[in-house]
């Protein structure tokens, strides 16, 4: 068996028909296993999964006694994939619908380019498939992460559909090389939700692997662009966990003024947007996890290879719908871009 599909479900009834119908219709499942980790939904998801997968011999449902989150849930599925000795695992969000020919281009890249550890298809918005959800995610040198080309028209992309390196591939639809995961480990379960795909691929890049977009492969995502205070808090806490665990000491020192300035800006935004209390709570959580953070940091920095590619993919500007305020576009972005160019020179980042 060469491939396992891992799907983590939670209150998934509105999505199961679209996902499984397109998975069966557009995927050769003859040499694969579908592993579904059901995260203790109370809306009948487990029963609907059992009904929808009845008759499929290569499906295994792993019911959980609690909500394990995205990170641990996928780890449970990947651990089962390792027991099956597959070469590749493909993580699929429950709210996807797949398009014809979505899988083979991903597998071709994985089979022909051993340096690639993570690959994503072009992810389109299900609400309007003419628009992009993400063409590969961007990672700012201050730790902010966001979808690349969000809401850009697909028709404006280069016609050659060439495979390109990305900051990190989206965990919504993500092909991973199991031999690379054997070296890097799986998702960091302390993150629970958000930034876990980013953190894993930083680890892969620290080991010298590449992460890419395969634009010939395409899926559609029922993406929810709303942000709650809880989501902001997860994103902020996990951004700092990534920075503290992975950025080498000299990088942290070099970008310290920018980190201080952006942190003040985030605090101001949290007050204005009504999640200041949640932002303050992230500091307490980080302080509580500091011993664990330092242990992970020591281990990860020791594994870093000379050919690590994590610094070269960092960017200086933040360009995402909702962040197009004049203060960001006309002041913050030019300043941060210039600062990162200076810091790259100091750090000798190619």
User: Cβ contacts of residue 65 below 8 Å, gap of 6+?
Assistant: 40
**pLDDT recorded at residue 199:** 97
**pTM, full prediction:** 0.94
Report residue 252 as tokens.
């942290």
Question: Do the beta carbons of residue 195 and residue 293 sit within 8 Å?
Answer: no
**pLDDT recorded at residue 55:** 84
Task: Tell which phi-psi region holds residue 195, choosing left (phi > 0), alpha (psi between -120 and 50) or beta.
Answer: left
Q: Can you name the residues that pair with 116 across neighbouring β-strands?
A: 210
In whole angstroms, give the CA distance from residue 350 to residue 30. 43
Question: Do the beta carbons of residue 188 and residue 75 sit within 8 Å?
Answer: no
pLDDT digit string (tens) for the chain, length 350 residues: 699 999 999 999 999 999 999 999 999 999 999 999 999 999 999 999 999 999 888 999 999 999 999 999 999 999 999 999 999 999 999 999 999 999 999 999 999 999 999 999 999 999 999 999 999 999 999 999 999 999 999 999 988 889 999 999 999 999 999 999 999 999 999 998 889 999 999 999 999 999 999 999 999 999 987 888 999 999 999 999 999 999 999 999 999 999 999 999 999 989 998 999 999 999 999 999 999 999 999 999 999 998 999 999 999 988 766 556 666 677 788 999 999 999 999 888 87
Q: C-alpha angle 82/88/92, rounded to 5°?
A: 95
Question: Do the beta carbons of residue 336 and residue 323 sit within 8 Å?
Answer: no
- From 13, 70, 15, 85, select the one nearest 37 (Cα to Cα): 70
**pLDDT recorded at residue 325:** 62
**pLDDT recorded at residue 57:** 85
DSSP β-ladder status, 59-63 and 137-139: unpaired
Q: Can you name the residues that pair with 120 across neighbouring β-strands?
A: 213
Instruction: Give, to the nearest 10 degrees, the angle between helix 276-303 and helix 256-273.
Output: 150
Question: Do the beta carbons of residue 89 and residue 210 sit within 8 Å?
Answer: no
Phi, psi (degrees; rounded to nearest 5) at 340: -65, -35
In whole angstroms, give the CA distance from residue 163 to residue 213. 6
Question: Do the beta carbons of residue 165 and residue 210 sit within 8 Å?
Answer: yes
């Amino acid at each position: 068996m060469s491939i396992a599909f891992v799907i983590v479900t939670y209150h998934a009834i509105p999505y199961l028909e679209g996902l499984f119908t397109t998975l069966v219709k557009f995927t050769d499942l003859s040499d694969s296993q579908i592993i579904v980790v059901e995260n203790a939904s109370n809306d009948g998801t487990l029963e609907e999964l059992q009904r929808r997968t009845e008759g499929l011999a290569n499906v295994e449902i792993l019911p959980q006694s609690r909500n394990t989150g995205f990170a641990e849930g996928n780890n449970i599925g990947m651990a089962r994939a390792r027991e099956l000795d597959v070469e590749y695992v493909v993580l699929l969000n429950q709210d996807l619908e797949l398009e014809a020919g979505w899988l083979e281009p991903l597998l071709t890249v994985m089979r022909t380019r051993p340096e690639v550890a993570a690959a994503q298809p072009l992810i389109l918005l299900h609400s309007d498939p003419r628009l992009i959800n993400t063409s590969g995610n961007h990672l700012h040198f201050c730790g902010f992460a966001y979808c690349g080309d969000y809401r850009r028209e697909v028709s404006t992309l280069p016609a050659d559909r060439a495979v390109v390196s990305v900051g990190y591939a989206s965990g919504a639809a993500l092909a991973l090389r199991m031999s690379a995961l054997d070296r890097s480990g799986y998702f960091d379960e302390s993150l629970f939700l958000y930034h876990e795909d980013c953190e894993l691929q930083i680890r892969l890049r620290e080991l010298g692997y590449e992460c890419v977009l395969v634009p010939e492969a395409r899926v559609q995502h029922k993406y929810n662009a709303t942000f709650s205070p809880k989501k902001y808090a997860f994103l902020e806490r996990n951004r700092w966990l990534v920075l503290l665990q992975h950025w080498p000491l000299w990088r942290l020192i070099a970008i310290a003024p920018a980190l201080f300035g952006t942190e003040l800006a985030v605090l101001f935004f949290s007050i204005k947007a009504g999640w200041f209390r949640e932002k303050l709570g992230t500091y307490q959580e980080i302080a509580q996890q500091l011993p664990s953070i330092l242990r992970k940091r020591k281990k990860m920095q020791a594994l870093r290879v000379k050919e690590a590619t994590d610094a070269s993919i960092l960017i200086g500007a933040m360009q995402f719908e909702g962040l197009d305020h004049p203060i960001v576009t006309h002041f913050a972005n030019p300043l941060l871009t210039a600062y990162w160019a200076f810091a790259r020179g100091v750090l000798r980042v190619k």
